[in-house]
Amino acid sequence: MTRPFRWFIGSILAVMTASVFTPTSTLALSEKGFQKLHVFTSILHYVEENYVEGVDEEKILDGAIEGMLEALDPHTVYLSPDIYRELRVDTRGSFDGIGIEVTIRDKVLTVVSPIKGSPAERAGLHSGDHIVRIDGKSTESMSLSESVKAMRGKRGSTVRLTIQRPDAKPFDVSVARQVIHVPSVKAELVDEHYIYASISSFQDGTSKTLEREIEKLAKKNTIQGMILDLRRNPGGLLDEAVSMSDLFLTEGVIVTSESRGKEIDRREAENSGAEPNYPLMVLVDGGSASASEIVAGALKDNQRAVVLGIQTFGKGSVQTVIDLDDGGGLKLTIARYYTPSGRSIQAEGIAPDIVVPAARPEAPEAKTRPREKDLVGHLEPEQGKSVASVAVATVSEDYQKEVALDYLKSWSIFGKRPDAREEKQ
């Protein structure tokens, strides 16, 4: 007997997550399907009876299951009992591994995103990196589950990944496995009046944690705006993505899901809108996937936030994980999700309102122009009547965050200035 586990909107790997779904019907095989099933059992019989060596029945049946699922999409996979056990732990935010999420894209094992603060991030792995070898073994013929298993291991041990990037030679990276503790929310006050909140993944309780952190900061400070950082966030629980969107929305659709051309789920804001209507900037990049894209899409389409950064990963499908009798699980793609505007982001991603690269563009050499104070014999400013000096912002190592903060500051400045027509009256 099978039992549904939870729905999730993330890829699979060192971190795996889920959310709630109940199958509505059992699909019976067609006559052609039964014919093919008969062929399959016949082949299994001939292999068992006549192959040149003795065969491991369990191994070849697992291979048959994996081969069947590979004919569907990269996110539909069989989870062995040990991987499935780790899945249940991973959603609570602590697990053993290197802290990386992967998927198979165009038949290549591809990094979705390294988790913030993880060994994988410290080793310099990037979203979009191709992992072509694991400990010297080619990943070309590996299934997603096999790749996951190969990168897992005893804490303290290392795994050697061979990375391929566009227009570059493959190179090796050794990453130490360790216990990964992933606080899903980190929030702080910047420049006295602005909240900066970084969300690493959507785990159980992430939305409530963010709400509590905002309340703490808002008690002692006047908040004029907020930056919600979803960069390098590979996704997670659908319910948490919906709850987080609802923190900032008082009405409107958050996300819809469709299967076989029919809508099967619709999530709308429940008028909670717990957070004040202050200016909101959402940071995204190529590592923002699935649940992150749902939040960014909901806040963008409902005109609640300005999205800044670069194009997101583009995972627009929804999976359910179903318990199997052997202790393993079936992660099955059951729907596509759509942003409030009705757009699917599958293989496209969320386009930011303001495109800002991760690195600061190199500025052309500035031409030195003389100013009044450089002229010989210039008049000195009068004491007590000079214009207040303009504060120079501290240069940040995080260029996108710096630009987002600049936009928030200008937002509040323009909001305070009276209409020019009113000044003339």
pLDDT tens digits, 198-237: 999 898 899 999 999 999 999 989 999 999 999 999 998 8
The b/e string for 142-180 (b: 16+ C-beta within 10 A; e otherwise) is bbbbbbbbbbbeeeeeebebbbeeeeeeeeebebebeeb
3-class state of residue 407 by DSSP = helix
Does residue 417 form part of some domain? no
Give the residues across from 163 on adjacent strands.
131, 171
pLDDT exceeds cutoff 60 at 312: yes
| Nearest Cα residue to 340 out of 246, 255, 250 | 255
Pair (248, 175) in one structural domain: no
pLDDT exceeds cutoff 80 at 388: no
Does residue 404 form part of some domain? no
Report the catalytic residues. 290, 301, 315
Pair (138, 247) in one structural domain: no
Outline where DSSP puts E strands in 230-298: 235-236, 253-259, 262-268, 280-284
Q: Where are the alpha helices (DSSP H) in 123-275?
A: 144-151, 206-220, 238-248
Domain residue limits at 173: 94-181
Residue 183 CA to residue 209 CA, distance in Å, equals 10
For the entire predicted model, the pTM comes to 0.78
Does residue 19 form part of some domain? yes
CATH number of the domain enclosing 133? 2.30.42.10
Question: pLDDT band at residue 4, thresholds of 50, 70 and 90?
Answer: very low
Asked if residues 29 and 37 have their Cβ atoms less than 8 Å apart, the reply is: yes
* Residue located via tokens 């997670």: 236
pLDDT on residue 89: 59
**Residues 6 or more apart whose Cβ sits within 8 Å of residue 272:** 246, 247, 250
Total domain count, the chain: 3
pLDDT exceeds cutoff 90 at 282: yes
pLDDT tens digits, 5-38: 445 555 433 333 333 344 444 456 899 999 999 9
Pair (273, 202) in one structural domain: yes
Give the mean model confidence (pLDDT) for residues 168-172.
95
Pair (127, 243) in one structural domain: no
Does residue 387 form part of some domain? no
CATH number of the domain enclosing 342? 3.90.226.10
Pair (12, 142) in one structural domain: no
**Residues 6 or more apart whose Cβ sits within 8 Å of residue 146:** none
Pair (159, 207) in one structural domain: no
pLDDT tens digits, 41-84: 999 999 999 999 999 999 999 889 989 998 999 889 998 888 78
Tokens of 109: 């094992």
Does residue 386 form part of some domain? no
Pair (119, 65) in one structural domain: no
Average model confidence (pLDDT) for the chain? 85
Residue 283 CA to residue 352 CA, distance in Å, equals 9
Residue 414 CA to residue 406 CA, distance in Å, equals 12
pLDDT exceeds cutoff 90 at 103: no
3-class state of residue 193 by DSSP = coil
3-class state of residue 44 by DSSP = helix
What is the DSSP code (8-state) at residue 51?
Answer: S
Give the mean model confidence (pLDDT) for residues 86-97.
64
Which of 146, 181, 216 lies at the terminal end of a domain, its last residue? 181
Contacts of residues 211-214 at CB distance under 8 Å and 24 or more positions apart, as own/partner, are: 211/247, 211/274, 211/275, 213/185, 213/187, 214/187, 214/275
